[in-house]
Structure 1
Amino acid sequence: MQATDPTDHSVPSGAAFLLTQVGAHAARRFAERVADLGVAPSDVGILRMILMSPGRSQQSLAEELGVVPSRVVTLLDGLQDKGLVERRRNPADRRNYALYLTEEGTRMMSAVRDLGATHEDDLLAALDPSERARLATMLQAVAAQQGLTPGVHPGYRRP
């Protein structure tokens, strides 16, 4: 690996630029990969959140994502149309829906988990396991310092 000359301003080499460059590349590649499964990255994020907390309400999902409830309704409508999510009336409060993955949604998340492992291996092939662990730890520290919600992509907050 060749060291960059800090006085050479012809090639951006700052950490913030590199995070953006690699992040945009990783997001594009992940979107391409999950598109083969018939879903978008935003779908995967919602499915993962429901998988981690089955029976959660649409309202709690909206709060965790930091979006208005109507945005969540739109996302869930698409997932329900694909047969990946089901809404059940909450027996404790029939005004609310409890969210669950369908059998197909569970199969989808299994496929996404395998795809995600391949994606990470491809993306981080230049790093050994200890470097990958250190990178993850450092990025978690940056995300925490920036006030980002763990496990929630900030892209949901776009209109």
Structure 2
Amino acid sequence: MGSISDLTDHTGFWMRMVSNAVSQDFARKVATEGVTVAEWSFMRALYEQPPTPPSVLAERMGLTRGAISKLADRLLAKGLIARTEDPQDKRAHRLTLTADGRSKVPVLAALADANDAAYFSVLSTGEHHALNRLLKVLAERRGLKTVPLD
């Protein structure tokens, strides 16, 4: 029987350790604004966009229509998005940010920026760029398109 690798021998271990810490701190920060990370991702996807059909949003975010529907229902209840009738198809609808939702996006983006700065400022600019580049290459080569929601 061969030797068994240690947990710390795996790149995935280190990625998960960092990802969990970054994600959990960010989740706590956005919770102070009354939203979840998933809701923030949804709102950011709608920001600067015309009223968008849920199917287009699902494709853009790499999510199922069911997941989009659940997130939309939560954000509708919070008054952060609105559902409008599709002018070309009265049976369909489109989603857009409300004024409250639009004003919240820059606040949430600032929290995301601060969270990244808190974690990645320990890296040099070159190290940070290299990390981003390698993670993007890995995601592209693996065909990863789903927006992380937690």
Same fold (TM over 0.5): yes
Question: In the TM superposition, what is the alpha-carbon distance from 1:59 to its structure 2 partner?
Answer: 1.6
Indicate how the Cα distance of structure 1 residues 24 and 59 shifts in structure 2: closer, same or farther if over 3 A, else same: same
Does structure 2 retain, via aligned residues, the 8 Å contact 1:54–1:101?
no
| Structure 2: segments with no counterpart, 5+ residues | none
Does structure 2 retain, via aligned residues, the 8 Å contact 1:88–1:98?
yes
Indicate how the Cα distance of structure 1 residues 68 and 11 shifts in structure 2: closer, same or farther if over 3 A, else same: closer
1:142 matched residue in structure 2: 138
Question: In the TM superposition, what is the alpha-carbon distance from 1:16 to its structure 2 partner?
Answer: 1.8
2:30 matched residue in structure 1: 34
Does structure 2 retain, via aligned residues, the 8 Å contact 1:55–1:98?
yes
The one-letter code sitting in structure 1 at the alignment partner of 2:120 is: L
1:3 matched residue in structure 2: none
- When normalised by structure 2's length, the TM-score is 0.87
The one-letter code sitting in structure 1 at the alignment partner of 2:28 is: E
Question: In the TM superposition, what is the alpha-carbon distance from 1:73 to its structure 2 partner?
Answer: 1.6
Residue aligned with 1:87, SS: strand
Residue aligned with 2:8, SS: coil
Indicate how the Cα distance of structure 1 residues 68 and 117 shifts in structure 2: closer, same or farther if over 3 A, else same: closer
1:110 matched residue in structure 2: 106
Asked whether 1:121 is paired with 2:117, we answer yes
Q: Distance in 2 between matches of 1:21 and 1:87?
A: 38
The one-letter code sitting in structure 1 at the alignment partner of 2:116 is: E
Matches within 5 A, 1:60-79: 60-79=56-75
Cα RMSD (Å) of the superposition? 1.9
Greater mean alpha carbon deviation, residues 50-59 or residues 62-71: 62-71
- When normalised by structure 1's length, the TM-score is 0.83
Indicate how the Cα distance of structure 1 residues 148 and 11 shifts in structure 2: closer, same or farther if over 3 A, else same: closer
Greater RCO structure (CA 8 Å; 6+ sep) = 2
Greater mean alpha carbon deviation, residues 48-57 or residues 26-35: 48-57
Does structure 1 retain, via aligned residues, the 8 Å contact 2:72–2:81?
yes
| Structure 1: segments with no counterpart, 5+ residues | 1-8
Asked whether 1:50 is paired with 2:46, we answer yes
Question: In the TM superposition, what is the alpha-carbon distance from 1:54 to its structure 2 partner?
Answer: 2.7
